[in-house]
Amino acid sequence: MKYLYELITELQKNKIPMVPCTKDEVDEVKRLIGNNKIPKAYIEFLEVMGGGTEHTFLRGESCYIDELMELNEWGAELLAENNVALKLTPNDFVFWMSQGCMFCFFKLDEGENPPVYFYSEGKKKDGFYKITDTYTDFLQRRYMKDKYIFQKKD
């Protein structure tokens, strides 16, 4: 575990159970994105906790394999419902959604631990904007319950 080592160690130390995705589930995600390449940091997430976690980490948020395959579609629907000119491209991978009114995605061509972008219907005038420099940082900050995570990063 190159990218998520610190987070996984912290979750293990705090005895937070993590359910990995099966190889078939990881392969299904790879098929979903077609010719694009999934970032290695995200593959680590799937292989270690893509099936879910217990405790409060990411609980109630749509980011695990049980809803993952629908997130890009749900993100596109949210944009359409909000009548914004923004569109998701085949290069954008929605990996997290909350309450059906906000989502996060990364671009499949921005490296093995890509920046994370955010959209919220409450901030639709701002469009998509970057909130973390890496996917790993997004997970760490969610675990730490950073209340400022969804603010625009310069």
What is the model's pTM? Answer: 0.92
Helix (H) or strand (E) holding 93: strand 92-98
d(CA 59, CA 57): 5
Class of the CATH-defined domain 5-143: alpha beta
Q: Residue 124: pLDDT above 70? A: no
Residue 126 has pLDDT above 80, yes or no: no
Average pLDDT, the chain: 91
Joined tokens for residue 126: 């701002």
3-state secondary structure of 95: strand
Dump pLDDT digits (tens) for 47-101.
999 999 987 788 889 999 999 999 999 999 999 998 888 999 999 999 999 988 9
Q: Are 78 and 100 in contact (CB under 8 A)?
A: yes
Q: Where exactly are the structural domains of the chain? A: 5-143
Q: Which residues pair with 106 in a beta bridge?
A: 93
